[in-house]
């Protein structure tokens, strides 16, 4: 029912489905199976960066720029959905919500949809939930899906990897920290943005980033099979400067991905990761069954609990005893 | 070799084994199997709380108090090991390291061992690595193992649950955030500390916490089977105030756990969790094998990558096809 309404363009159905995904409802796998055939049209952009980098303002300006293109007639019906992932900790909650208000100017625009998602302490499940929400927005028919995450840790990288184009947003204040920036972060980014570019140190940061990009380029090209040198773009989101340039760079990246066949490859890799995660989730349930009352591993667990067998010895005894039986492929 | 040296009291062997654990060396399972029979003697205390709560200073004072007991002859040979888990992010790195310096006064004391562990972005593996380091310190012969973590998220809770007694350290500044504090956090804590108790708002925070503890008590008691109302202790670690009271409360909690049989039950539950995590790690490897070239799931993966089958449908087809075969129990 809800899925049909979503596919028919019902926003309230969309909002309710997102809530189901957020809450990890048991109906999600079935919802996703029915939504899946209608996905793949939207172009997704992930934006991440440290807190205070001005990502929300930048996203706000990107929405405006994308919508301007529509109303100016240079692009037909460019609708935009935003998922803002809040890493709400009990001790930081609220701060990020304030940022959301900046985007409220768009709430009356029927071509724009904005939704915040909280992590609720479950960082592991967040990447999957975000991927699922992205699929819902895609199936609904949005042309662009922007995913904004705060932070530069493992989870943010995972979320970033869900996007077709990943933008890392930095500010001059992050300059010194760049030295310790993990190579993985730089490799996950397709575009680098130096926001608040009117501040002191912006030029130096941009130069440093360009240098780092150049150093990393060899490895990147080999792994990506794409003729793309990560551009460094200066923006002042608060003053609406550099936003068109950023959008233009995103567009160039999209073309590079499409013409090289890498867009397809990226999306394939993403589906493979989704499958792996789902299989692992199923395995986790199987392990809990096996370790539970009457389960195949219950006697082993009792030995471990009693201290007669150590967990490492028990796990060693299980080596090779976990089997994944392939299903028959009937399509 | 290294394990024998550890068990013989060689600190350099201990340090090297910790490094192996930190780096996720392939030798770890074997090391842990050999260390395991010598564990179970140490009493472990986990301390967690938001950044800036003064945990490092508090730990420093706790070490001093424990060592005073030794030198005063009221407790024989009370040795203390500290594991400080730094959630080093590329953008916050360094800040926490400064705190470590406060503990350096103890570095010349042969009864004290202090070690920092960085997360290196791998939050999932951190809980396991911390548990393993805890086991090493236990096997080495430390009477007390203190584990300090920064934060109040899922991972910190996991780490906290590895301890016999878990202490949540708050400061008056965390007062407002308490309202949004998850019940799970409060339930994971055996003791609540209001540090920097000379600051404004400390009394109100303590009163609020006492109220929350009282409200939660029914559920807690049922789940824990322990006659223990979580105490709220005011400390000023920087002025060495309230530390003896905290230590005394930890002692009372320890006695309550021991006399009720709950210490045994907690440690059993911990071994069960360790087994579950190890089995899951093995399963993860099995899934990667199955999805890899020539693996049992490779054809399924190809269907998913090509978009002919959606990941959710594929995962559904796998339901019930994951088998964990129990090993024969010969001891």
pLDDT confidence band for B97 (50 / 70 / 90)? very low
Cα torsion B185, B187, B191, B195: sign? positive
Top-confidence range, A48-62, A181-195, A312-326, B26-40: B26-40
Q: What is the mean pLDDT of residues B90-112?
A: 58
pLDDT confidence band for B2 (50 / 70 / 90)? very high
pLDDT confidence band for B185 (50 / 70 / 90)? low
Shortest alpha-carbon distance between residue B121 and chain A (Å): 5
Q: Residue B34: is its pLDDT beyond 50?
A: yes
Q: Residue B158: is its pLDDT beyond 90?
A: no
Q: Among A212-226, B191-205, B251-265, whose mean pLDDT is lowest?
A: A212-226
Report the distance separating Cα B117 and Cα A282, nearest Å. Answer: 32
Shortest alpha-carbon distance between residue A268 and chain B (Å): 5
Q: Which residues of A touch B174 (CB under 8 A)?
A: 91
DSSP for B91-157, please give it: TTTTHHHHHHGGGGGGTT-TTEEEEEEE-TT-HHHHHHHHHHHHHHHHHHT-SEEEEEEEB-SHHHH
- Which has more pLDDT, A16 or A159? A16
Q: Which residues of A touch B326 (CB under 8 A)?
A: 290, 296-297, 299-300, 321
Report the distance separating Cα B250 and Cα B233, nearest Å. Answer: 11
Residue of B nearest to A91 (CA): B177
DSSP for B26-47, please give it: TTHHHHHHHHGGG-S-SEEEEE
pLDDT confidence band for A102 (50 / 70 / 90)? low
Q: Among A163-167, A180-184, A240-244, B12-16, whose mean pLDDT is lowest?
A: A180-184
User: What tokens appear for B197 in the block?
Assistant: 């108790």
Q: What is the mean pLDDT of residues A289-301?
A: 88
pLDDT at A95: 39
pLDDT at B32: 94
Q: Which residues of B touch A322 (CB under 8 A)?
A: 279, 282-283, 286, 322-325
- Which has more pLDDT, B135 or A325? B135
pLDDT confidence band for A96 (50 / 70 / 90)? very low
Q: Contact, A147 vs A83, CB < 8 A? A: yes
pLDDT at A295: 87
Q: Which residues pair with B232 in a beta bridge?
A: B192
- pTM for the complete prediction? 0.72
B283/A322 CB distance under 8 A: yes
Q: Which of B89, B272, B314 sits opposite A305 (nearest CB)?
A: B272
Looking at this predicted complex, what is its ipTM?
0.77
User: What tokens appear for A14 in the block?
Assistant: 């969309």
Q: What is the mean pLDDT of residues B137-150?
A: 93
Q: Residue B24: is its pLDDT beyond 50?
A: yes
Q: What is the mean pLDDT of residues A278-297?
A: 84
Shortest alpha-carbon distance between residue A244 and chain B (Å): 28
pLDDT at B243: 97
Q: Which residues of B touch A122 (CB under 8 A)?
A: 154
* Number of C-beta neighbours around residue B39 at 10 A: 18
Q: Which residues of A touch B316 (CB under 8 A)?
A: 29, 33
Shortest alpha-carbon distance between residue A71 and chain B (Å): 34
Percent of chain A at pLDDT above 90? 41
Q: Residue A317: is its pLDDT beyond 90?
A: no
pLDDT at A113: 93
CA distances, A41 to each of A44, A112, A147, B100 (Å): 9, 17, 16, 51
Q: Residue B137: is its pLDDT beyond 80?
A: yes
pLDDT confidence band for A98 (50 / 70 / 90)? very low
Q: Which of B122, B181, B272 sits opposite A90 (nearest CB)?
A: B181
Residue of A nearest to B303 (CA): A329
Q: In terms of CATH, what superfamily is A36-260?
A: P-loop containing nucleotide triphosphate hydrolases (3.40.50.300)
Q: Among A25-34, A164-173, B95-104, B162-171, whose mean pLDDT is lowest?
A: B95-104
Q: Residue A269: is its pLDDT beyond 60?
A: yes
A64-95 pLDDT, tens digit per residue, is: 999 987 766 555 568 999 998 865 443 333 33
Q: Residue B218: is its pLDDT beyond 60?
A: no
Shortest alpha-carbon distance between residue A45 and chain B (Å): 21
DSSP for B289-319, please give it: HHHSTT-TTHHHHHHHHTTSS-HHHHHHHTT
CA distances, A166 to each of A45, A160, A188, A203, B213 (Å): 6, 6, 7, 22, 44
Q: What 3-state DSSP class applies to B170?
A: strand
Q: What is the mean pLDDT of residues B230-241?
A: 95
Q: What is the mean pLDDT of residues A296-300?
A: 89
pLDDT at B159: 73
Report the distance separating Cα A133 and Cα A115, nearest Å. Answer: 10
Percent of chain B at pLDDT above 70? 79
Q: Among A128-137, A170-179, B318-327, whose mean pLDDT is lowest?
A: A170-179
Q: Which residues of A touch B299 (CB under 8 A)?
A: 326, 329
A142-173 pLDDT, tens digit per residue, is: 999 999 987 666 666 677 778 999 999 999 88
pLDDT at A145: 96
Q: Residue B15: is its pLDDT beyond 50?
A: yes
- What is chain A's mean pLDDT, rounded? 82
């Amino acid at each position: 029912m809800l899925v049909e309404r979503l596919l028919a363009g019902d926003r309230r159905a969309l909002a309710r489905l997102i809530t189901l995904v957020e809450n990890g409802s048991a109906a999600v796998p079935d919802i996703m199976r029915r939504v899946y055939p209608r996905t793949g049209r939207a172009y997704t952009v992930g934006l991440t960066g440290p807190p205070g980098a001005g990502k929300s303002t930048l996203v706000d300006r990107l929405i405006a720029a994308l919508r301007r293109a529509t109303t100016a007639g240079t692009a037909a019906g460019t609708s935009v959905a935003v998922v803002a992932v809040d890493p709400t900790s009990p001790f930081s909650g609220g701060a990020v919500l304030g940022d959301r208000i900046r985007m409220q100017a768009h709430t009356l625009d029927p071509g724009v949809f904005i939704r915040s998602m909280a992590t609720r302490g479950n960082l592991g499940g967040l990447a999957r939930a975000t991927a699922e929400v992205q699929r819902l927005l895609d199936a609904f028919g949005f042309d662009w899906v922007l995913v904004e995450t705060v932070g530069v840790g493992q989870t943010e990288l995972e979320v970033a990897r869900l996007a077709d184009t990943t933008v890392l947003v930095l500010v001059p204040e992050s300059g010194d920290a760049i030295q310790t920036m993990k190579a993985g972060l730089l490799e996950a980014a397709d575009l680098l943005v130096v926001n608040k570019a009117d501040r002191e140190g912006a030029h130096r940061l941009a130069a440093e980033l360009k240098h780092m990009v150049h150093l990393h380029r060899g490895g990147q090209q080999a792994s990506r099979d794409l003729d793309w040198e990560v551009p460094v773009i200066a923006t002042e989101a608060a003053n609406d400067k550099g936003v068109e340039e950023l959008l233009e760079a995103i567009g160039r990246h999209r073309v590079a991905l499409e013409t090289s066949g890498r867009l397809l490859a990226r999306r394939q890799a993403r589906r493979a990761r989704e499958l792996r995660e789902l299989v692992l989730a199923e395995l986790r349930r199987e392990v809990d069954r096996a370790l539970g009352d009457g389960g195949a591993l219950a006697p082993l667990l009792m030995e471990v609990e009693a201290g007669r067998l150590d967990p490492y010895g028990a796990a060693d005894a299980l080596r090779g005893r976990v089997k994944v039986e392939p299903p028959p492929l009937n399509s």
